[in-house]
Amino acid sequence: MIEKSVPHLLQLKPDAKKFSVVAAYDATLAKTIADAGVDAILVGDSLGMIVQGKASTVPVTIDQMAYHTEAVARGNARSNSPALVIADMPFMSYQNIQTALENAGQLMRAGANMVKLEGGAWLAETVQQLLQNGVPVCGHLGLTPQSVNKLGGYKVQGKSDAQRTQLLHDAVALADAGADFIVLECIPADLARDVTEAIGIATIGIGAGHETDAQVLVAHDLLGLSERPARFVKNFLTPENIYSDNPIKDAFSSFDKSVKAGTYPAAEHQYN
């Protein structure tokens, strides 16, 4: 069992200790991220946009997710401080329970320690079945990129009273079903705070303010490689570490320390 296991990270919440997550897709970055002390690596279906240059995450397949999960798992295993590996279930790979079980099994065999699914209360039974088969689950609420065609773009979610009520309901339903973590993406900071206080499991924020239990950024974003970075993105490859012996590792370390110190995200990175 890796030191940064699901139970280990869940135990941080009662003590108000935060943990860090970085999204990455290859062995080299995975080892560097783990060596920097980051607690979890998310193999996100964002690879469709970041690695493949596509317009959304929708075209990403389960075989592509398994390929990149294997690569990350191999790099992570070479670190002296391996991180927890979370793998995204891509678009239409969990539309029913049997399909979810089969595809989650493929990702776990590829080296994932947990899978992530986008969606709310309707996934409760799927979450329960995955857990009964030994698959830890991370939910994902707010801006769910696989639903970009329904949402009409990459927009902040949870701004209306109805959306807030629904998101809180979904978070409680996922927690009650047995999910261990929930990613909260691009929602108002006060809503993220309310969700974090309402559930006993860990919340992982991205564009959700500083009061979640953890923070995640895509590796390429925190290294300043984004052409048009989102409001919540901060470049951690700074002049202070660019001339060090290992500036990339130092950037990941700086992100990890900033998350745990509560200095990232700052007010300018959140939505109200």
Cis peptide before 247 (omega within 30 of 0): no
C-alpha span between 176 and 163 (Å, rounded) = 20
Helix 97-110 vs helix 124-132: angle between axes, to the nearest 10 degrees? 50
- The SS3 of residue 21 is strand
Q: Which residue in the list 118, 185, 240, 268 is annotated as catalytic?
A: 185
Segments of 9-145 assigned E as strands: 19-23, 40-43, 84-88, 114-116, 137-142
Token pair of 27, please? 């062995």
Angle (CA) 144 119 15, round 5°: 90
The reply to whether 185 belongs to the active site is yes
Residues designated catalytic: 185
